[in-house]
Structure 1
Amino acid sequence: MLLEPITIVELAALGLTGGFMAGLLGVGGGMVLVPFITWILASRGVDNELAVKMAIATSMATIIFTSISSVRAHHKRGMVRWDLVKGIAPGIMIGALVVSIGVFALLKGAWLSVVFGVLVILAALQMFLDRKPKPTRQMPGRGGQMAAGSVIGFLSGLLGAGGGFLSVPFMTWCNVAIHNAVATSAALGFPIAVFNVIGYVLGGWSVAGRPEWSVGYVWLPALAVIASCSVLMAPLGARTAHALPVKTLKRIFAGILMLLAVSMLIKGIRLLGA
């Protein structure tokens, strides 16, 4: 499946948007990429079930590159909580490998769309309502951070997201400042992406019906175009994040997540009813 010029333009626009979102909100861009990559693949003859899985895997692969660009910009401002990265990342690795090697291949694409929609809607509501956590609540110790990382890595692997839709609400619930939470989430996106992509490649290696230039569930042409564009925009997103007031940043985060989640939920329900 060679890329037509219009497809390259579509993927480039996705990369620019996803990169900006990754820097702005620490979400890795996956919440933006998955619905649109699914549509691009399905419109070019890939089975809907397979298109959802390949969109999730390809989106996750782009986060490897986007997270590096994004976290460098946040680190320069001293906003990344590296102590939390060290505590959460080991659990992320475990959860990511478990889901991407085993569970992901077994689930139908329609159910992945439904799970994606429901979980993201819940996360968006929590952010939009801006409920204040108890002032005494703090991040758990290393054991609790590792357990939280396992859940984040597992669910991120199901959805092709960088984990920000869970890690940002979790950290702010534990009284981590929103700007620190976004920056730290960007750093966590790298281990989430690397370990999930390893599983996606292994789990999808012999799956039939994949387009040309696919490695496992990862569609390489889309990865190349999106990643090359996203790394250009992630630093701009990071700078914008630090210029916005906290409440505005939370509302933007929640609103975009809600729109994309509803879109994927509707798609999943239609696939289940087909």
Structure 2
Amino acid sequence: MPELTEILFFAAVLAVSGVLSGLLAGMFGIGGGAILVPIFFHVFGLLGVPEEVRMQLSLGTSLAIIVPTSIRSFMAHRARGAVDMELLKGWVIAVPLGTLIAAFVAARASSVTLRLIFAVIALILAGRMIFNRASWRLGDELPKNPARFLVGTSFGILSGLMGVGGGVVNNTFMTLYGRSIHQAVATSSGMGVLISLPGLVGYVIGGWGAPGLPPLSTGYVNWIAVVLIIPITLIMAPYGARAAHAMSRQALERAFGVFLVCVSIQFFVGVFS
């Protein structure tokens, strides 16, 4: 068992991550998971959680925290009239379906595989955001069904395997079809709701009875971390949404990209060191 001073230090680190994840949820529509997952992975490791279940636990716990954060962020963006509700309604089945598939896969994949998936996707998307050009377009209108349904399902799978709210993929998707980064961010906050709720259920079921889980865990969700971080993220998300609408498109995209690069490097170093 770790010493009391260690536990307090871990709690302080988690609290800081809660502040950052709440701001990121509002600013980038990503639900904060992209920062919570790597922090959880290291904190759970220091607490003695076996590597075999550590990444899955980090992903599931992140998605559980994203539930209220995404709802709060979505409400803040919707109040500004920036959310594409038509797109979200078209994904109400596709995105949750993909997320449940991801939870099933994650329960059977290795920790190293999940970390590499996280890092590779984050790095690809970072390149798109940092080096974005206005000429980079796939079209002027978002795809129609069945292509749109398949896109939503794939986004659910990728986000579920990364423990994020979907902004990392949806922001890129919408801007490639001529939508503003501000509308993409706002819509991604709603997508986070469609991902986090079924993701929570999927990771609880997928990790039910798994060995080596820390106390107060239900499947791959640790409720100590959830209870500690959720209040902080709920408070900070509206401030992030306000900051997003005050920034230029270029600044918002580059900030998002640099953040993803840092996260990706951190995971690559962890895998190959």
TM interval, shorter chain, is over 0.9
Question: Does the 8 A contact of 1:164 with 1:182 survive in 2?
Answer: yes
Cα deviation 1:30-52 (Å, max 9, x = unaligned): 11111111110001111123211
Report the 3-state secondary structure (helix = DSSP H, G, I; strand = E; otherwise coil) of the residue aligned with 2:91: helix
1:136 Cα deviation from its structure 2 partner: 4.6
Q: Which residue of 2 aligns with 1:30?
A: 33
Q: Of the candidates 113, 118, 121, which is equivalent to residue 120 of structure 2?
A: 118
Q: 1:108 aligns with which of 107, 110, 121?
A: 110
User: Equivalent residue for 1:252?
Assistant: 255
Q: What amino acid sits opposite 2:159 in the alignment? A: S
Is it true that 1:175 corresponds to 2:178 in the alignment? Answer: yes
Match of 2:199 in 1: 196
Instruction: State the distance in 2 between where 1:226 and 1:135 align.
Output: 38
Does structure 1 conserve the Cα–Cα contact (< 8 Å) formed by 2:44 and 2:54? yes
1:148 positional shift: 0.8
1:266 aligned residue: 269
Runs of 4+ with >6 A deviation: none
Consecutive unaligned residues in structure 2, runs of 5 or more? none
Aligned partners of 1:95 and 1:234: how far apart in 2?
25
What is the identity, as a one-letter code, of the residue corresponding to 2:225?
Answer: A
Q: Conserved in 2, the CA contact under 8 Å of 1:105 and 1:204?
A: yes
Aligned to 1:41: 44
Note the C-alpha offset of 1:216: 0.3
Structure 2: distance between partners of 1:78 and 1:18 = 23
Deviations 1:178-218 (A, max 9, x none): 10000000010011001111110001011000000000000
TM-score, normalised to structure 2, is 0.95
Distance 1:134 1:56, change over 3 A: closer
Moved more, 74-83 or 234-243: 74-83
Give the TM-score taking structure 1 as reference length. Answer: 0.95
Q: Over aligned residue pairs, what C-alpha RMSD do you find?
A: 1.5
3-state secondary structure, aligned to 1:89: coil
Instruction: Please name the residue that 2:66 is paired with.
Output: 63
Pairwise mapping of residues 70-109 of structure 1 onto structure 2 (< 5 A)?
A: 70-100=73-103, 102-109=104-111
- Cα deviation code 1:194-250 (max 9, x no counterpart): 111111000101100000000000010001111111010000000000000110000
Distance 1:47 1:135, change over 3 A: closer
Q: Distance in 2 between matches of 1:259 and 1:10?
A: 18
1:27–1:165 CA contact under 8 A, matched in 2: yes
Contact 2:126 2:261 in 1 (8 A): yes
Query: Do the aligned partners of 1:42 and 1:51 also contact (CA within 8 Å) in 2?
Result: yes
**Aligned in 2, Cα 1:135/1:109: closer, same or farther, shift over 3 Å?**
closer
CA contact under 8 A between 2:138 and 2:176: conserved in structure 1? no
Corresponding residue number in structure 2 for 1:140 = 143
Q: Residues 5-24 of structure 1 correspond to what in structure 2 (within 5 A)?
A: 5-24=8-27
How many Å apart are 1:89 and its aligned residue? 3.0
Q: Which whole-Å CA distance do the structure 1 matches of 2:232 and 2:206 have between them?
A: 27
Aligned counterparts of 2:22 and 2:127: Cα–Cα separation in 1: 23
Structure 1 pair 135–194 and aligned structure 2 pair: CA distance change class (3 A): closer
Percentage identity across paired residues of the two chains: 35
- Retained in 1: the 8 A contact 2:67–2:197? yes
